[in-house]
Amino acid sequence: MALRIVIVGPGRVGIALARRFSAKRVTVCGFVGRDATRTAAAVQAAGVGDVLQFADLPRAHVVLFTVGDDDLRSAIQQAVAAATPRACSLWVHTSGRHDLSLFDGVVGIRRGVLHPAVPVVDGPGGAAGLVGAPGVYHGDANARHLLALLCEFADLTPIEAAAGDRVLYHAACALAANGLTALVDVVQRTFARSGVVADASASALGAALMQAALRNCHEHGAAAALTGPVRRGDAVTVALHRAHLQAALPQVLPIYDALSQVALALARADLPADRAAAVAAALRGS
């Protein structure tokens, strides 16, 4: 018998997961949303299932809540109020921030979290981006096997998580994905103000530098991967960067300073004390 899944939350993650599941031995029964038109649009975008109601949840072996973090609690309450959960069904949410306690008080279910640790965008790119991405899962002992299987069905690489501090975990995810995206924007604006390369080249230049840095970090660790003026102790260069940023893009200077402080902490072990002190002074503007 195929595994039946109902998805509560017809947004980016729900649609992307439905697209991946539909190619496997999984029946996506459909979506429960809070707006019939948007839910019907999700059914069409996913190419699978029907518009369902909370009362339909007992049809499913797996109820997948892909609802925004701030709406999750009330969506679960609506689900509980609408129908008695199917015995031993797996209720799982995809939030990075929340733990299993959101399901406390829901009787007779198995509880899980399956966080696709990847930025999921709108459209077909969302489903494509899931392939090979980490699926960080955590759940009751009797839920873990099925959670790992769901990762496999979604083409995610399963990573079993401990309970831990999920808010800190999610902050790390946000720094990695959204922080990097914000940094890309800062880099592009700085290239543009320099006038040295055309916009099209600047985009490729920024991407090449960031990809090489990421690859080096992954292969050698952050301290060994660090290069550049802070790593070399070139305090005059650092002072010039700061002066030109202050003149052209003052809003970028605090970002440059904060990142350079982290770089200096990484570099200190290999930097002569006088050069480290000179860089620290340059970063203080003295």
Residues that bind ligand NAP (CB under 6 A): 8-14, 32-35, 38, 66-69, 71, 74-75, 78, 94-96, 115-116, 119-120
Nearest residue to ligand NAP by CB is 11
Is the Cβ of residue 50 or residue 270 nearer to ligand NAP in the bound state? Answer: 50
Is the Cβ of residue 14 or residue 49 nearer to ligand NAP in the bound state? Answer: 14
- In angstroms, rounded to a whole number, what is the distance separating the alpha carbons of residues 53 and 281? 62
CB 114 within 8 A of CB 92: yes
CB 33 within 8 A of CB 53: no
Residues written for the chain: 286
Is the Cβ of residue 18 or residue 75 nearer to ligand NAP in the bound state? Answer: 75
- Which residues are registered as beta bridge partners of 157? 134
- In angstroms, rounded to a whole number, what is the distance separating the alpha carbons of residues 25 and 31? 18
Least distance (Å) from ligand NAP to the CB of residue 26? 19
Least distance (Å) from ligand NAP to the CB of residue 81? 11
Least distance (Å) from ligand NAP to the CB of residue 39? 8
Is the Cβ of residue 129 or residue 275 nearer to ligand NAP in the bound state? Answer: 129
CA dist list (Å): 193 to 26, 58, 187, 233: 51, 58, 10, 26
Least distance (Å) from ligand NAP to the CB of residue 8? 5
Least distance (Å) from ligand NAP to the CB of residue 112? 14
Is the Cβ of residue 67 or residue 271 nearer to ligand NAP in the bound state? Answer: 67
Least distance (Å) from ligand NAP to the CB of residue 65? 8
Is the Cβ of residue 96 or residue 233 nearer to ligand NAP in the bound state? Answer: 96
- In angstroms, rounded to a whole number, what is the distance separating the alpha carbons of residues 113 and 175? 21
How many C-beta neighbours within 10 Å does residue 134 have? 16
Residues 6 or more apart from 138 whose CB is under 8 A from it?
99, 100, 112, 113, 147, 160, 161, 162, 163
